[in-house]
Chain A
């Protein structure tokens, strides 16, 4: 890449991303506090969840409300296998991801082939809602409502810093995968089916195959995230499937901008790190979240990324105007 091309690529967006990347890499080394590291780990995990959920809802246009369930399946399977069979997390996490992918594709993806948007939303919602009761039933294996604890970490003596970097790498890999998919013909197929199903079908896009693909990919990535979640944090319980994490995840996508690439990342960063303010609100937390969703849907359907793009356009116009001003 010669110098001119490099300069062209030096858009402010790329600069910001590069800076953020460098910062995230260096942060633990320049004296990161343990709690902030914990927040970062949460951000990495939820970033993957939000991004894969965005792939399903934003790019493919499938209203799925049950992705937290994918996370739970992946996490529980990995945790249970690691605890009871004493397998290494590096083995159990992929198994968790695959389990999540298979279950979801069979139970949700296949029926979804025949269903319209709203039914899929209901189906996935009920799915995610029935998981807690199944979990409570199978107390011996899953720890019931108390959840799984003392899940073995990636290697003994693992500290927060290690978990940090491991999850960071997972985050990067997942985002890269999603990026490649979005910018591939498959991603184009997703968007085409979302925007104009019949036209896409008439052009030869196979609706069934693409739907299954997106469900499989989304659930696999989320399941993997679940696996890394349990092994980094050590426990999981049915509360992860409660209304609050679900709302938080939805808000991450809506706030950031559904259907954009950076939207979920931005959204999850804001929610995870800004979550502290939510905690201050105490019992009003959920009201705030609900209200936030309402406001975003009504007034900012494109989320922050839409605002960012509008800002960019505005700046471009100003600069353009200056450059083409006849006085100079």
Chain B
């Protein structure tokens, strides 16, 4: 019983982390219908940049994060303008963007490897100590992580509901043709979308990096899990992604408890297949197109 509850708590924590990570993916897909196959490596890079500023320039956690966010949003915007934008104009874009981002992901992963070395880096935890409620053990740090996730989601929701650009993105996500008809500059909006998504993803990479170990290669694992989550939650729905992340995080924790860690990947695969067969648009996804 004790281990079960602890597993559930652990699942909640990892679920929140996954939710944070899946947000960037949802944003890009929701608005531009591009699947960011380089999602994992973007998260990793965001984390590494923060780590770099943290350890070498010694400016403290918050400034490092801010710098990293800035760099990542620029990066996203540049990647969009330079590479995705031309690809989207060709007829084969669904396919070519996947391949391109895949190649880019490999390239970036390897470059990161060259620059930072393969040895595992650790992001320092924010808070020390742990909390004990009865037999449930949770670190203050993990509580902090959940809080960070909640705050981020709230901020993003405010952005999407009350800022012009946020509403513009939602408009494009709902109907790109309609957005064009009313005269929205799709190129500009996409650029901002990529910038925002990269920033959020980079941020999530930092957060994930505090709980899990960090090497460039872990990006793929995060990416695949992110995809399954986004599929379950409904592509384009941030709320759905959060629900899905928590559910899948919990399932993963339970599976690890009862079956062992090695079965994690086959389980993700099975879950994915089940989701796709039963409800491909996910829990909250509206359109299947």
Asked if residues B99 and A129 are in contact (CB atoms below 8 Å), the reply is: no
Answer yes or no: B104 CB below 8 A from chain A CBs. Answer: yes
How far apart are A83's CB and chain B's nearest CB, in angstroms? 23
Contact A297 B109 (CB under 8 A): no
**The stretch of B154-162, B170-178, B271-279 that contacts the partner chain:** B271-279
Contact A127 B269 (CB under 8 A): yes
Measured CB to CB, the nearest residue on chain B to A299 is B86
Q: How far is the CA of A111 from the CA of B275 in the complex (A)?
A: 10
Min CB gap B189→A, angstroms: 21
Chain B residue contacts of A283, Cβ below 8 A: 110, 113-114
- Do B231 and A119 touch (CB < 8 A)? yes
Contact status A293-B276, CB under 8 Å = no
Q: By the criterion CB–CB under 8 Å, are A287 and B110 in contact?
A: yes
Question: By the criterion CB–CB under 8 Å, are A121 and B228 in contact?
Answer: no
When the two chains form their complex, are residues A297 and B87 in contact, meaning their CB atoms are under 8 A apart? yes
Verify B99–A290 contact, CB threshold 8 A.
no
- Asked if B166 is an interface residue, CB under 8 A from chain A, the answer is no
B87 is contacted by which of A117, A250, A289, A298 (Cβ under 8 Å)?
Answer: A298
By a CB distance below 8 angstroms, the chain B residues around A291 are 103, 107
A284 an interface residue at 8 Å Cβ cutoff? yes
Cβ contact of A119, chosen from B105, B114, B280, cutoff 8 A: B280
Q: How many angstroms from the CA of A127 to the CA of B99 in the assembled complex?
A: 18
Question: Is residue B266 within 8 Å, beta carbon to beta carbon, of the partner chain?
Answer: yes
Stretch at the interface among A38-46, A131-139, A171-179: A131-139
Consensus secondary structure, chain B interface:
helix
Majority secondary structure, A binding face: helix
B74 touches A (CB below 8 Å): no
Identity of the chain B residue whose Cβ is nearest the Cβ of A289 in the assembled complex: B106
On chain A, the residues within 8 Å of B228 by CB distance are: 122, 126
Which parts of B83-97 form the interface with A (CB within 8 Å)?
Answer: 83, 86-87, 90, 92, 94-96
Tell me which of A125, A133, A285, A301 contacts B96 (CB under 8 A).
Answer: A301
- How far, in angstroms, from A247 to B109 measured CA to CA in the complex? 13
What's the tally of chain B residues with a CB closer than 8 Å to chain A? 42
A interface residues, how many (CB within 8 angstroms): 40
Given contacts A291-B103, A292-B103, contact A130 B280 (CB under 8 A): no
CA A250 – CA B276 in complex, angstroms? Answer: 25
Number of A-B contacts defined by CB within 8 Å: 115
Given contacts A121-B98, A129-B265, A290-B110, contact A301 B92 (CB under 8 A): yes
Q: Please state if A293 and B99 are interface contacts (CB–CB under 8 Å).
A: yes
Q: Are B100 and A298 in contact (CB under 8 A)?
A: yes
A286 touches B276 (CB 8 A): no
Query: A253-312: which have CB < 8 Å to B?
Result: 254, 283-287, 289-294, 297-298, 301
A116 to B98, CA, bound (A): 14
Smallest distance from the beta carbon of A34 to chain B beta carbons, Å?
Answer: 32
Interface: B224 (CB within 8 A):
yes
Give min CB distance, B93 to chain A, whole Å.
11
Question: Which residues of A are found within 8 Å of B265, using beta-carbon distances?
Answer: 126, 129-130, 133
> For chain A residues 86-125, which have a beta carbon within 8 Å of chain B?
107, 111, 114-119, 121-123, 125
Cβ distance A291 to chain B, nearest Cβ, rounded Å: 5
With A111-B277, A290-B107 in contact, do A133 and B264 touch (Cβ < 8 Å)?
A: yes
| Partner among A115, A121, A133 whose Cβ is within 8 Å of the Cβ of B262 | A133
Q: Please, which residues of chain B bring their CB within 8 A of the CB of A293?
A: 99-100, 102-103, 106
Minimum Cβ distance to chain A for residue B100 (Å): 4
- Given known contacts A119-B276, A298-B87, A301-B90, is B110 in contact with A286 (CB within 8 Å)? yes
Known: A127-B269, A130-B265, A297-B96. 7 other contacts (CB 8 A): A111-B276, A123-B276, A126-B272, A289-B103, A290-B105, A290-B110, A293-B103
25 contacts between A and B (CB under 8 A): A107-B273, A114-B280, A117-B94, A118-B98, A119-B276, A119-B280, A122-B272, A125-B224, A130-B268, A136-B262, A137-B263, A247-B106, A250-B99, A284-B110, A284-B114, A285-B110, A286-B109, A287-B106, A287-B107, A287-B110, A289-B103, A289-B106, A290-B109, A290-B110, A293-B103
Binding site for B on A (CB under 8 A): 61, 63, 107, 111, 114-119, 121-123, 125-127, 129-130, 133-134, 136-137, 243, 247, 250, 254, 283-287, 289-294, 297-298, 301
